[in-house]
Amino acid sequence: MNSNYKESFEQIKIAGSLAAETLDEVTPYVKPGVTTEKLDKICYEFIRDNGGYSAPLFYRGFPKSSCSSVNHVVCHGIPSQKYLKEGDIVNIDVTAIVNDWHGDTSRMFFVGDVSVKCKNLVSTTYNSMMEAISIIKKGTHLGDIGETIQSYVEKKGFSVVRDFCGHGIGKTFHEAPNVLHYGKKGDGIKLQSGMIFTVEPMINEGAYKTKMLKDGWTAVTKDKSLSAQFEHTVGVTDDGFEIFTKSKKKYDQPPYLI
């Protein structure tokens, strides 16, 4: 990576902004009685109507344009005709491609009123992601990111999923490096200015083990406890970071005031 990354940051910011605006757009529709398929359609159409393409659609055979992961689903839930119900928590994960560049982001949503337990898990997950992003700059080790998330989360009594990680992103959806959400300070490569990757911790209420459902995509917690996730696409600079997938409506974490 060289110092001439301005152009790539400008490009990925376009894709990242569209992905973030897509989540802003779908937010008022996340209510009891809506199906995740309906939410997926809203995401698909918004991205298409704004000059992008949904990266998940047909990616390695994935059948939909977004992932929706409800309650004990850790990630990669397939939108379906199942209704969301009061008290559910759901992650919606969208990735927009614009001019070949990928912007990848996800947020949690509360379906109606949710339990205090859900609120704690969700805010812990959000805070762990933002704490980790806040230490990003040239020279930070990948392990510093992992340790920041892990220590924050474990202090609250929750666990960090090991089976999925963040990833480099750009003109390809998933590329090197793997960004682990657990680890030790000083481990792993040193970040260089111009690198672009996602931070997307999956945090479980119970144990960190996951299980894959028969559909080959849906990952759930092995102990059926709740799981939460947020995701941003970020870039590394000499003295800090840039987040490419920020909400324009301050829909950073629920409850979203519409």
* Minimum distance, C-beta of residue 188 to Co ion, in the bound complex (Å): 18
Q: Which of residues 169-198 bind Co ion (CB under 5 A)?
A: 198
| Nearest CB to Co ion, comparing residues 88 and 231 | 231
Does residue number 147 form part of the binding site for Co ion (CB under 5 A)? no
**Binding segment for ligand MF3 among 1-9, 57-65, 115-123, 241-249 (CB under 6 A)?**
57-65
253 touches which of Co ion, ligand MF3, none (CB within 5 to 8 A by kind)?
A: none
* Minimum distance, C-beta of residue 56 to ligand MF3, in the bound complex (Å): 3
| Size of interface with Co ion, in residues (CB under 5 A) | 4
Does residue number 95 form part of the binding site for ligand MF3 (CB under 6 A)? yes
Does residue number 53 form part of the binding site for ligand MF3 (CB under 6 A)? no
Among 76, 102, 141, 232, binds ligand MF3 (CB under 6 A): 76
Among 21, 40, 88, 93, binds ligand MF3 (CB under 6 A): 93
| 3-state SS, one letter per residue, for the chain | CCCCCHHHHHHHHHHHHHHHHHHHHHHHHCCCCCEHHHHHHHHHHHHHHCCCEECCCCHHHCCCCEEEEECCEEECCCCCCCECCCCCEEEEEEEEEECCEEEEEEEEEECCCCCHHHHHHHHHHHHHHHHHHHCCCCCCEHHHHHHHHHHHHHHCCCEECCCCCEEECCCCCCEEEEECCCCCCCCCCECCCCCEEEECCEEECCCCCEEECCCCCCEEECCCCCEEECEEEEEECCCCEEECCCCCCCCCCCCCCC
- Around Cβ 204, how many Cβ atoms within 10 Å? 24
* Minimum distance, C-beta of residue 4 to Co ion, in the bound complex (Å): 25
Interacting residues with Co ion (CB under 5 A): 93, 104, 198, 231
Would you tell me which residues interact with ligand MF3 (CB under 6 A)?
Answer: 56, 59-60, 62, 67, 76, 93, 95, 104, 200, 217, 231
